[in-house]
């Protein structure tokens, strides 16, 4: 074919050149006995792989499927290997095709057709891997938009040329210069490294959280240290993969230092305060704390920047770590510590008040949550009021008088019933109203 395309745009000429090359290659394959023999070997390799897969797959699935209740390491390995069984057909076809390639190259000195077929089987394996095996959404996105396009270029035999062209294209940012290929490699490697870092951090955090012999604050500090170490190593590996020397980051480090000195000093202060809190264990997850501004709640989560409190009405309060260091915080430590509460009540002036303390203390002691140590219930005379004699009963309990616990309400019921059972009157306000009428003068 001899077409005159000199008047056409360059892109049209280039596309036509590629089309002519493809046509010549295809016609050479179609008219060559060696090519037909390679096609026949490809077909034979696929049929043999299909027949072998048909027999092997049920056997492998039966061997690799463990009991549903088994949690041993061997069972975990078997389940992991089982998910790769769908790759059996393309991998067997690739192996048989590779054997056929050696045969054709020894007989005809050429194996381009069968080598192309072998790459096709690898592309099919990659497609099955992405569509059927990978379940993690992030890895599935990487496979769909990165792995499959790379495998397509490899199958067509233009991967090396594409890499060469991308290596020749460079990008400069100040004193840092890198190629487009390095950028692409960094994006791919960075995505995989930080996904692997996140997975490793989750596994490490889960392992540390199961160590019951460690204090809660120590466990949290160990988790934070492991997180910093994992992602720090991932960052250094990424810089090495992209070919960026760490000395080139001096300007960036200086900018970060200036930022810390001005706009980021609060973030740095909160982070350091969080480390101090974890080391000293002054406040940790599960503690009930009251802030200097009157807000109170249970610490449900600690982060590098703040602590999250949950109030009894379900609200979450994000408190910067610095506030726990620089302001007054009352820690009720709702982790088995005892707290004292009191209930006020009054009795009538007609009551023999000497009997009241024993009656009330005995009644309050019946509550299953009221403690006898460090002190048993104590009923005290507080004053002589306008309408009655004022008393208060003090009692100790483990926990807080709110949320699921209603100690004050329960004790008030006990006080009420004890007074009623003993015929003691609970007073109510009395008011004396004096009516005066003006005197009238007699006129007469």
Which residue among 312, 331, 350 closes a domain?
331
Residues 242 and 278 in one domain: no
Which residue among 85, 119, 137 closes a domain?
137
| C-alpha–C-alpha distance, residues 177 and 189, integer Å | 18
pLDDT tens digits along 103-142: 777 766 666 777 788 888 888 888 988 888 888 787 888 8
pLDDT tens digits along 170-206: 777 666 666 777 777 777 777 777 777 777 777 777 7
Q: What is the token pair recorded at 227?
A: 């997180």
The confidence score (pLDDT) of residue 15 equals: 67
Residues 52 and 115 in one domain: yes
Which residue among 310, 331, 352 closes a domain?
331
Measure Cα distances from 135 to 37, 118, 198, 270 in Å: 40, 26, 16, 38
Examine residue 78 and state whether it is found in any structural domain, yes or no.
Answer: yes
Q: Is the confidence at residue 31, as pLDDT, over 90?
A: no
Nearest to 360 by CA among 377, 340, 338, 339: 377
Domain at 369, CATH number: 3.30.70.100
Examine residue 344 and state whether it is found in any structural domain, yes or no.
Answer: yes
Examine residue 316 and state whether it is found in any structural domain, yes or no.
Answer: yes
Residues 252 and 216 in one domain: yes
- The upper half-sphere exposure of residue 72, i.e. CA atoms within 13 Å in the direction of its Cβ, equals 7
Examine residue 437 and state whether it is found in any structural domain, yes or no.
Answer: no
Residues 71 and 119 in one domain: yes
Domain that holds residue 192: 176-261
pLDDT-derived band at 413 (thresholds 50, 70, 90) equals very high
Residues 225 and 282 in one domain: no
Examine residue 296 and state whether it is found in any structural domain, yes or no.
Answer: yes
The residue written with tokens 């020749």 in the block is: 168
Examine residue 299 and state whether it is found in any structural domain, yes or no.
Answer: yes
Q: Is the confidence at residue 310, as pLDDT, over 80?
A: yes
Q: Is the confidence at residue 423, as pLDDT, over 80?
A: yes
Examine residue 326 and state whether it is found in any structural domain, yes or no.
Answer: yes
Number of domains in the chain: 4
Q: Is the confidence at residue 443, as pLDDT, over 60?
A: no
Examine residue 12 and state whether it is found in any structural domain, yes or no.
Answer: no
Residues 42 and 93 in one domain: yes
Q: How many residues are recorded in the chain?
A: 444
Residues 273 and 204 in one domain: no
Residues 200 and 111 in one domain: no
Residues 201 and 275 in one domain: no
Domain at 300, CATH number: 2.30.30.60
CB 323 within 8 A of CB 295: no
The confidence score (pLDDT) of residue 365 equals: 92
- The upper half-sphere exposure of residue 3, i.e. CA atoms within 13 Å in the direction of its Cβ, equals 12
| C-alpha–C-alpha distance, residues 182 and 173, integer Å | 14
Residues 182 and 252 in one domain: yes
For the whole model, what pTM was predicted? Answer: 0.49
Residues 346 and 364 in one domain: yes
């Amino acid at each position: 074919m001899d077409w005159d395309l000199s008047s056409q745009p360059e892109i049209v000429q280039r596309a036509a050149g590629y089309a002519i090359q493809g046509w010549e290659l295809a016609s050479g394959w179609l008219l060559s006995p060696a090519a037909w023999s390679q096609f026949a070997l490809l077909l034979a390799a696929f049929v043999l792989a299909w027949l072998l897969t048909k027999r092997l797959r049920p056997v492998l699935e039966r061997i690799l499927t463990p009991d549903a209740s088994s949690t041993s390491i061997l069972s975990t390995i078997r389940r992991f290997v089982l998910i790769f069984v769908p790759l059996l057909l393309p991998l067997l076809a690739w192996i048989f095709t590779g054997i056929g390639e050696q045969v054709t190259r020894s007989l005809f000195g050429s194996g381009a057709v069968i080598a192309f077929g072998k790459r096709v089987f690898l592309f099919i394996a990659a497609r099955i891997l992405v569509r059927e095996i990978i379940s993690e959404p992030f890895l599935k996105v990487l496979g769909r938009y990165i792995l499959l396009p790379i495998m397509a270029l490899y199958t067509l035999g233009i991967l090396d040329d594409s890499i060469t062209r991308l290596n020749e294209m460079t990008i400069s940012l100040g004193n840092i210069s890198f190629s487009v290929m390095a950028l692409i490699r960094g994006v791919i490697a960075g995505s995989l490294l930080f996904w692997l870092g996140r997975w490793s951090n989750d596994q490490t955090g889960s392992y540390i959280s199961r160590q019951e012999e460690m204090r809660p604050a120590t466990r949290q500090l160990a988790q934070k240290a492991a997180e910093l170490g994992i992602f720090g190593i991932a960052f250094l590996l990424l810089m090495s993969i992209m070919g960026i020397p760490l000395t080139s980051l001096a300007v960036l480090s200086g900018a970060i230092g200036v930022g810390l000195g001005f706009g980021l000093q609060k973030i740095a202060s909160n982070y350091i305060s969080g480390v101090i809190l974890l080391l000293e264990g002054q406040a940790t997850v599960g503690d009930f704390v009251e802030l200097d501004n009157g807000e109170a709640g249970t610490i449900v989560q600690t982060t590098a920047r703040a602590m999250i409190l949950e109030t009894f009405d379900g609200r979450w309060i994000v408190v910067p770590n610095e506030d726990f260091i620089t302001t007054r915080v009352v820690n009720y430590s709702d982790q088995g510590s005892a707290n004292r509460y009191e209930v006020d009540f009054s009795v009538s002036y007609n009551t023999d008040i000497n009997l009241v303390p024993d009656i009330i203390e005995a009644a309050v002691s019946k509550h299953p949550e009221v403690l006898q140590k460090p002190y048993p219930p104590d009923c005290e005379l507080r004053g002589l009021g306008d309408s009655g004699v004022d008393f208060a009963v003090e009692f100790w309990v483990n926990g807080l008088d709110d949320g699921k616990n209603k100690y004050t309400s329960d004790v008030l019921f006990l006080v009420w019933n004890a007074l009623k059972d003993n015929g003691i009157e609970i007073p109510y306000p009395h008011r004396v109203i004096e009516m005066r009428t003006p005197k009238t003068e007699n006129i007469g």
